[in-house]
Amino acid sequence: MPIELTFLGSGTSQGVPMIGWDYPDSFLKNPKNHRTRPSVYIETEKVKFVIDTTPEFRIQMLREKIAWLDAVLFTHAHADHIMGLDDCRRFCDIRGGALPIYATPETMDHLKRIFVYAFDGRPIPKGYFNPEPHLIEGPFILEDLDVAPYPLPHGRTITTGFLFAQNGKKKLAYLSDCKTVPDPVAAAVEGVEVAILDALRRDSHPTHMSLDEALTVARRIGARRTYFTHLTHDYDHDIDQAEMPEAVFFAYDGLKIKIP
């Protein structure tokens, strides 16, 4: 079975449309311009998991009819990536027990602080969020996937990018929320089947890649297909997609891809 990936959300930290902003009717009529906060759902023959739990996590799960998770992986602890974590209580209920949560020590410390009631050792009643913490301190295995984490610069924060390999083949690189992809990381993921990159907006930003920066990184990585995520309202999907090079795509909420 190939890896199947769904973009649960493809938007920036404020989402699109943004509060208090006037948009042309033509922009709003295109559902691909409605972007919830960024996350992906990944499924193989043996494992089902998400990367990050956005503030719209419950809505995203209902929209995609996702009824089971084996794990949650976190890139970092900014609000747009973690604030839906408590909605995993339903998956704990379905599983009849704890849900594995993977994060670096720094990110896990933030999760424990923000969701203290779930991590402080008190008894967790049925129906409540019940995490099983796993620290990311090097490569690890999720059933049929080999997972290699990589640190990425994101202003004063270090985020975690992931390379997923299957049967020795580099299948997916998820490199979001970063100002650049350092040379050692780009070399490690070079030639991957699919790369997912941060491409916040057209203008430069202090903590995210701009469109030109993301295109440059895409060329360095040389993936068979590249998808841009964490997008502001700078992009009118259909118009801007027409300008992209071959095999480079703007993601949109609900987009499903298969990685052979």
Cα separation, 172 vs 23, whole angstroms? 34
Task: Specify the pLDDT at position 150.
Answer: 98
The pLDDT tens digits of the residues spanning 177-189 come to: 999 999 999 999 9
pLDDT value of residue 1:
76
Residue % of the chain over a pLDDT of 70: 100
Which pTM value belongs to this model?
Answer: 0.97
Among the residue ranges 38-42, 109-113, 119-123, the one predicted with the least confidence is 119-123
Contacts of 162 (CB under 8 A, 6+ apart): 51, 73, 75, 147, 148, 149, 150, 172, 173, 174, 175
- Taking only the tens place, the pLDDT of each residue in 230-259 is 999 999 999 999 999 999 999 999 999 999
CA 150/CA 138 separation, integer angstroms: 9
The dihedral sign for the CA sequence 198, 80, 171, 163: positive
Residue at 220: amino acid letter:
R
The answer to whether residue 138 scores a pLDDT higher than 80 is yes
Separation between Cα atoms, residue 48 and residue 180, nearest integer Å: 29
